[in-house]
């Protein structure tokens, strides 16, 4: 019996050990779960990284959006500029004895030669066809003008007298020449060349628009109107 009791005790002990083992097993399972959690944490980290990537994407999108906004701002600024200061036209036209344009410094009182790179078109009337954004000549600036048409050579010219005081030009200004190269960007609508000399000291001007460049000599800028283009200066 005693040995039987020992067997029973042993069985009980074994059962207890088995229980302990069972208790330990879930602990191991728990450890495994923890590992799974760790893996889960790693997954979370990956998610965080993914979130970072998303943030980066968001940043990239924001940067892209900002970049997109920048050209829009630039475009707006570019659009705003002409509105703020309208571009002064540099295209002249000679339509008749009364409807024509000449080039003058953009600002009142400007020196003729010093504004070779900046001269703009000034016309006898506003909105002359073919002279976009041209200015209008000050009243009384043109005192007399003589219109010549040479159909054979294909040129037209205007010569005459000016009242320099109407645009603040100086009596000490010996004048200068404007042509296709000075100012760069200037044009004579409907013609291939032009030459203009303005002499504030003598208060005369002359302009010729030519189909053939040789009829508009630009290599005699210091000779003055009467020698370069001839014509009537009364
Ligand atoms: C201007 O050019 C023309 C044609 O090339 C030439 O005959 C003339 O001698 C030149 N005049 C001056 C002052 O250089």
- Centroid of ligand 1 to alpha carbon of 219 (angstroms): 6
- Do 95 and 39 reside in the same domain of the chain? no
User: Is 153 or 83 the better-scoring residue by pLDDT?
Assistant: 153
In a domain? residue 233 = no
Atom of ligand 1 nearest to the CA of 220: 13
Ligand 1 atom 9: residue of nearest CA:
219
77 and 97, same domain (yes or no): no
Number of the ligand 1 atom closest to the C-alpha atom of 223 = 13
pLDDT of residue 84: 53
Q: Are residues 41 and 134 in the same domain?
A: no
Q: Helix (H) and strand (E) counts for the chain? A: 2, 10
pLDDT-derived band of residue 87, with 50, 70 and 90 as boundaries? confident
115/213 same-domain check: yes
Give yes or no for residue 220 CB within 6 A of ligand 1. Answer: yes
Question: How many domains are contained in the chain?
Answer: 2
Give the closest residue to 157 by CA, choosing from 206, 108, 106, 124.
206
Nearest-angstrom CA–CA distance, 175 and 204: 10
Among 24-28, 35-39, 213-217, whose mean pLDDT is lowest?
35-39
Confidence at 86, pLDDT banded by 50, 70, 90: low
212, 217, 221, 224: which to mutate for ligand 1, most atoms within 8 A of CB? 217
Average pLDDT over residues 172-179: 98
Q: Which residue has the CA at smallest separation from atom 4 of ligand 1? A: 214
> Which of 214, 218, 219 is the pocket-test mutation for ligand 1 (most atoms within 8 Å of CB)?
219
pLDDT of residue 232: 97
What range does the domain containing 25 cover?
Answer: 1-85
The better pLDDT of the pair 16, 112 is held by 112
Any domain includes 204: yes
Domain termination site, one of 61, 85, 109:
85
Does one domain contain both 46 and 103? no
Tabulate helix, strand, coil % of the chain (nearest 5): 40, 25, 35
């Amino acid at each position: 019996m005693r040995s039987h009791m020992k067997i029973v005790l042993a069985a009980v002990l074994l059962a207890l050990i088995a229980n302990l083992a069972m208790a330990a097993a879930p602990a191991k399972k728990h450890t495994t779960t923890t590992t799974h959690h760790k893996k889960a944490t790693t997954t979370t980290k990956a998610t965080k990284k993914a979130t970072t990537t998303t943030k980066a994407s968001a940043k990239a999108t924001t940067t892209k959006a900002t970049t997109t906004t920048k050209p829009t701002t630039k475009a707006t600024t570019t659009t705003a500029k002409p509105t703020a200061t309208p571009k002064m036209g540099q295209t002249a036209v000679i339509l008749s004895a009364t409807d024509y344009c000449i080039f003058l410094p953009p600002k009142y009182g400007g020196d003729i030669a010093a504004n070779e790179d900046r001269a703009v078109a000034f016309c006898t009337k506003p909105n002359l066809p073919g002279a976009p954004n041209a200015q209008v000549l000050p009243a009384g600036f043109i005192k007399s003008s003589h219109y010549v048409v040479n159909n054979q050579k294909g040129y037209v010219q205007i010569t005459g007298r000016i009242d320099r005081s109407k645009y603040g030009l100086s009596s000490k200004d010996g004048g200068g020449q404007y042509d296709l190269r000075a100012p760069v960007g200037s044009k004579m609508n409907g013609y291939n060349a032009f030459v203009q000399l303005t002499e504030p000291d003598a208060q005369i001007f002359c302009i010729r628009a030519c189909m053939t460049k040789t009829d508009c000599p630009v290599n005699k800028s210091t000779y003055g109107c009467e020698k370069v283009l001839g014509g009537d200066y009364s």
